[in-house]
């Protein structure tokens, strides 16, 4: 059975950095939701244009659109599994992914919550915007919407994974190496 690992947390908490480490060292397939959404938007497809409306406002994308993004995820998982960077974001998506996983003989083994403060989020996003120039990182109102959406949706999602014995909380403000050492304990 293939493994599913999730990296979850506020924007700029270090999910992609840690996912890159796991992919490099363990051979997991990587599913970065932010990258997938940006790629779909850049493609100019109808789905991308629909998604862009939500991304531009900093709000979560409805499940019916998310399903179109993740429907082929089982085919991407290698023998060692897949790591999700920023997905699921809502309880309904966790259940959707659980169903897809079961269909492809994949099982969630850990849900890592990289916990950082709101002040740290704003600091990191501001730095990232200067370096990468991402449009969704430049508007303070959009950033605040993303933070507010996360807070609203995180409670039921974290409870779900906690109740299933899969939640692993990690201080996301530690150094990158220390965070990765914590993650490796569960791989």
**Residue 171, pLDDT above cutoff 70:** yes
Q: In angstroms, rounded to a whole number, what is the distance separating the alpha carbons of residues 59 and 87?
A: 14
pLDDT at residue 22, as a whole number: 95
Across residues 164-185, what is the average pLDDT?
96
**What pTM value is reported for the model?**
0.85
% of the chain at pLDDT higher than 90: 47
pLDDT at residue 23, as a whole number: 94
**Residue 116, pLDDT above cutoff 90:** yes
pLDDT at residue 139, as a whole number: 84
Q: In angstroms, rounded to a whole number, what is the distance separating the alpha carbons of residues 14 and 107?
A: 23
pLDDT digits (tens, 9 = 90+) for 10-45: 989 999 999 999 999 999 989 888 888 888 999 999
Across residues 156-185, what is the average pLDDT?
96
To the nearest whole number, what is the mean pLDDT of the chain?
89
% of the chain at pLDDT higher than 70: 96
pLDDT at residue 78, as a whole number: 59
**Residue 143, pLDDT above cutoff 80:** yes
**Residue 128, pLDDT above cutoff 70:** yes
Crossing angle for the helix pair 140-163 and 91-103, to the nearest 10 degrees: 60
**Domains annotated on the chain, with CATH:** 2-184 (3.40.50.300)
Q: Dig out the tokens for 103 from the structure.
A: 């269909």
């Amino acid at each position: 059975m293939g493994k599913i690992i999730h990296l979850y947390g506020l924007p700029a908490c270090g999910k992609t950095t840690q996912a890159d480490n796991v992919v490099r060292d363990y051979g997991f397939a990587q599913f970065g939701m932010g990258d997938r959404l940006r790629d779909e938007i850049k493609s100019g497809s109808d789905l991308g244009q629909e998604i862009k409306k939500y991304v531009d406002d900093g709000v979560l994308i409805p499940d019916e659109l998310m399903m179109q993004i993740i429907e082929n995820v089982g085919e991407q998982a290698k023998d060692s599994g897949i790591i999700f960077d920023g997905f699921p974001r809502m309880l309904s998506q966790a259940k959707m992914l659980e169903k897809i996983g079961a269909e492809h003989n994949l099982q969630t083994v850990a849900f890592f919550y990289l916990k950082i403060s709101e002040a740290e989020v704003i600091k990191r996003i501001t730095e990232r915007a200067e370096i990468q120039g991402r449009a969704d990182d430049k508007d303070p109102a959009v950033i605040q919407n993303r933070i507010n959406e996360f807070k609203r949706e995180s409670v039921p999602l974290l409870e779900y994974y906690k109740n299933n014995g899969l939640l692993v909380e990690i201080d996301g403000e530690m150094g990158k190496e220390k965070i990765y050492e914590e993650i490796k304990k569960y791989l």
